[in-house]
Every structure is written in C-alpha cells, then in structure tokens.
Amino acid sequence: MARHKVTVIGAGNVGATTAQRIAETGLADVVLVDIVEGLPQGKGLDLAEAAPVVGHDARITGTNDYAATAGSNIVVVTSGLARQPGMSRDDLLSKNASIVKSVVEQAARHSPHAILIVVTNPLDAMCHVAMKASGFPRERVIGMAGVLDSARFRTFIAEELGVSVVDTHAFVLGGHGDTMVPLARYSTVAGIPITELLSRERIEALETRTRNGGAEVVALLKTGSAFYAPAAAVAEMVDSILLDRRRVLPCAVLLDGEYGTKGLFVGVPVVLGERGMERVIEIKLTADEQRSFNASAASVQELVDKLPA
C-alpha cells in the first residue's frame, strides 16, 4: 500500500515547518510547492537530508510544478503575502484571494479527491475562495484557525494555573482573530471548567491575550508572523484525517444552518476523519455567546462581500 501524500503549497515559514512536522510523523510523503524557483527544492532537500538523523522514511520533495502534486490526499494552502507596511487589509484580501484562487485551481486539477486545509489569511475569507476555486464539497474544504487559537488559550490557562498544558482543554468558536469567541464554560483543566478555578477578571484577561495571540508574536518578531504553533495545528488536523481518528477540533467550515448561520465559513467544533469534515458538533449557546458568535460571523461576511467576483 502506498504511503499517503500531502502537498503543502507555500514553502515559507508556515509551509516548510508544516512539511517538517508531517514528514517527521512518517504519516505521509510531502510535496512542497512554491512560486519562487529553488525555494521549495532547497527546503525539500534540506528536510530530506534530516530524515536519516531523525529516523523517518517519508519522502520530501520540492517543486514549482503542480504535476508533482498529483494524487495528494491532502493539500495544505499556506501561500500568500503577509501584510506589508502601507498595505491595507483590503489590498491583502484581494492579493491573497488571487494567489489562493490560482494555487487551488492548479492543485485541485491534479488532486480532485483531496481534502483542502486552508491556512492563508484572512482565513475565513480564503476558505470561500478555495471552495469556489476547487469546486469541492464543504466536507473537503477546512480552515485552520481554531486549533491554533485554542492552543494559545490552553497555553495561557496552563501558565496561569501552574498545570500541564496537556491537561487543559479550550473551546473557541467564531472567525479567526479579533472576533473569535472563547467559551470559558467549556474550557477545562482535567475536566474542571476554568470558571471554577479562575476569577471572571482573570479569564477575561486570558481571553483577550488569546484574541491578540497572533499580534503578540508579530510584535516580538517584527518581521513575519507565528509559524511553529500554526504548523503544529495543521499537523494535528492532518493526523486526524489520515488516521481517521475523528478528533473533535475547532475548524472553519461552511455552515449550513448550524449555529444559526448559513453559507459562511466560521470556526466551530467538527469531527475530522478520513472524509474531511465528518460533522459539525453543535451546542446550545447562551444569548450572550450567540450574540458574540453572530458578530464574529458578521465580520467574516463583511470580508466575503469585498472579495473580487
């Protein structure tokens, strides 16, 4: 039986680190693609030469040619620009929309049965672009954001309480970024809701830090944005899909009436398995939580409305 194949488009910080993590699990061969000549080939070769030391057998190759991606089980899309000084959010939206459209069209042509994991920002809007460009059903277009946002929340909860991150669990809903909705009553330490362990004030401070988690890293790095935790988050999703583990993970998916929203990609807990998004897990929200969710969905809609036709 052939090993699984994962294509990672964009051999930048997130893409190359994702390729490394996936290859090191030995779960799949990895094809790294970028528009810059030599970049994916160089990083691919470097990663392949680490394999004897790390002790895995995954094949890693780099290419500028989509023919090499044919028959991928999963395609991860990380290609895109970061916001440059002087560039508005809308500029970034239209530039990345055209990059995502072009790479997804090419990748989907060569791997018509693949599951797409979208990473490029603005995340939720790029999921819409990827879905349209691929023509794939909603089960096979999934955005990575919630796993990262909840990992950040878990990090801060563990730090605050002086406990292992492994025993923390965090529940976040909504769009990626400023409008995400952390749900404290479903965020736990060894099954105990954090509302039993921390004051409202401290929880709010941790939630705010989580919402600004990406900006905090950017401010420290000065050039570029987070990539270790984003790559780890993508690798967790890939693992759940390829091994059909059916992990329940927060992901951006096209809602079809769930949480009162239809036709929009928003972050919700889903079951990730061999078919991609196996199902959405829906819980009853309080009136306050639903208001925050709706506000988050409205901000995704605003971006989607600005997408080029």
Ligand X SMILES: NC(=O)c1ccc[n+]([C@@H]2O[C@H](COP(=O)([O-])OP(=O)(O)OC[C@H]3O[C@@H](n4cnc5c(N)ncnc54)[C@H](O)[C@@H]3O)[C@@H](O)[C@H]2O)c1
Residues that bind ligand X (CB under 6 A): 9-15, 34-36, 39, 78-80, 82, 96, 99, 102-103, 119-121, 123, 144-145, 148, 176, 224-227, 230
| Shortest distance (Å) from residue 144 CB to ligand X | 5
| Shortest distance (Å) from residue 219 CB to ligand X | 15
Q: Which of 183, 151, 154, 182 is nearest to 168 (CA)?
A: 154
In the annotation, is 110 catalytic?
A: no
Q: Residues 185, 288: contact at Cβ < 8 Å?
A: no
φ and ψ at residue 198, rounded to 5 degrees: -135, 150
Burial of 183 (0-12, 13-18, 19+ CB in 10 A): buried
Q: Which of 105, 106, 131 is nearest to 117 (CA)?
A: 131
Q: How many alpha carbons lie under 13 Å from residue 31 in its C-beta half-sphere?
A: 22
Nearer to ligand X, 114 or 189 (CB): 114
Across the strands, what pairs with 15? none
Q: What gap in Å lies between CA 230 and CA 14, rounded to an integer? A: 7
Nearer to ligand X, 10 or 273 (CB): 10
Nearer to ligand X, 135 or 224 (CB): 224
| Shortest distance (Å) from residue 179 CB to ligand X | 14
Q: In what order do the strands lie in the sheet with 60-63?
A: 60-63, 28-33, 4-9, 74-77, 115-118, 141-143, 247-256, 262-273, 276-280
Nearer to ligand X, 198 or 231 (CB): 231
The SS3 call for residue 273 is strand
| Shortest distance (Å) from residue 174 CB to ligand X | 13
Q: Which of 144, 139, 146, 78 is nearest to 107 (CA)?
A: 78
Residue nearest to ligand X (CB): 12
| Shortest distance (Å) from residue 93 CB to ligand X | 11
| Shortest distance (Å) from residue 308 CB to ligand X | 15
Nearer to ligand X, 95 or 202 (CB): 95
Q: Which of 144, 146, 195 is nearest to 171 (CA)?
A: 146
Q: Which of 4, 56, 128, 176 is catalytic?
A: 176
Show the tokens assigned to 199.
């004051």
Nearer to ligand X, 108 or 148 (CB): 148
Name the residues annotated as catalytic. 176
